[in-house]
Structures are given as structure tokens and as C-alpha cells.
Amino acid sequence: MPESDKRHRSTLATVILLLIIGEAMTFFLAALLHLGLPLLPGFSQPRIIPATIVEGLCGLFLAVSIIALLTHRGGTRGIAIAAHIFAIVGVLVGIVSLALGTAPADEANTIYHRVILGVLIVVLILLLTPGARDALGRQHAAM
């Protein structure tokens, strides 16, 4: 296999990993903010326990997929895909709750939901590509 192909696979796997790390971190931060904790100076979110639970679970499932990626376990891509589907459904529930007024809406929360939904969809599409399947599969096969 040419060295450029190996580098491309390695780069793709790294990009996927970094994006998932960023996603998980934002979900954990959002979960803490929805506990009513003033984590960021001058910025707070209303206490919304259902949002805390869903965001915490999204972060946890994404973290499990990170561990799978880092340890090169079998089924890595499937774990990441499942985590993304769960997170997308969770975000869609949040968007619907905001739209129906069953959760307190503010501009930051609305923007976050839209941005994270876009990122989750992009990473899910990336995970579904043959290139990602190959990159993540090769990573596992090399171990």
C-alpha cells in the first residue's frame, strides 16, 4: 500500500476522532450548564433536568465511541454510528421542545442545537463513507 494512502487513512481517522471529542465535550458542558451551574462567566442556562440527562447520555455514548476508536476494538465504526444516531435524535427532541415551548428557549440554546445537529450529521455521513470504513477498519486490522 502506498505511503500516501496510509497517511490519508490515518488523517481521516484522526479527523473523525477529533470531531467526536469536540462533540462529546460540548454535550458534557451543555449538561452541566443545564444543571444551572454558572460555568462560563456572564453566561448561564436555565436548569432543565431532562436536557441534562439527554445531553449527558449523548456525551457518554460519544465518549464510549472515542474509547473504541482509541483502543481499536472491533465494531468501532458501528459504535460511533450508533452514538451519532442517538445524539441526533436527542438534539431533535431538544429542538422540538424549544419550538413547542416546553423548554425555556434562548438564543444560545437555539444556536447550539442547530450547530451541533449540523456537526453530528456531517460526522455521521463521514462515518458512513467507504473511506471511513476503510480507515477505521485498517486501523483495527493493524493492531
Per-residue CA distances from 140 to 18, 19, 40, 134 (Å): 18, 19, 39, 10
Q: What is the mean pLDDT of the chain?
A: 86
Place of cell 451519532: 84
Contact status, residue 140 vs residue 115, Cβ threshold 8 Å: no
Q: What is the pLDDT of residue 132?
A: 86
Q: What is the pLDDT of residue 37?
A: 80
Q: How many residues does the chain have?
A: 143
4-29 burial, b if ≥16 CB within 10 A, otherwise e?
A: eeeeebeebbeebbebbbebbebbbb
Q: What is the pLDDT of residue 4?
A: 53
Read off the pLDDT of residues 12-55 as tens digits, 9 standing for 90 and up.
889 999 999 999 999 999 999 889 887 777 777 888 899 999 99
Which residues fall within 8 angstroms of residue 131, CB to CB, at 6 or more apart? 8, 9, 12
Residue 40 pairs with which residues in a beta bridge?
Answer: 43
Average pLDDT over residues 95-115: 88
Q: What is the pLDDT of residue 103?
A: 80
State pTM to two decimals.
0.86
Q: What is the pLDDT of residue 52?
A: 94
Q: What is the pLDDT of residue 140?
A: 43
CA–CA dist 127, 56 (Å, integer): 22
- The architecture in CATH of the region 3-142 reads Up-down Bundle (1.20)
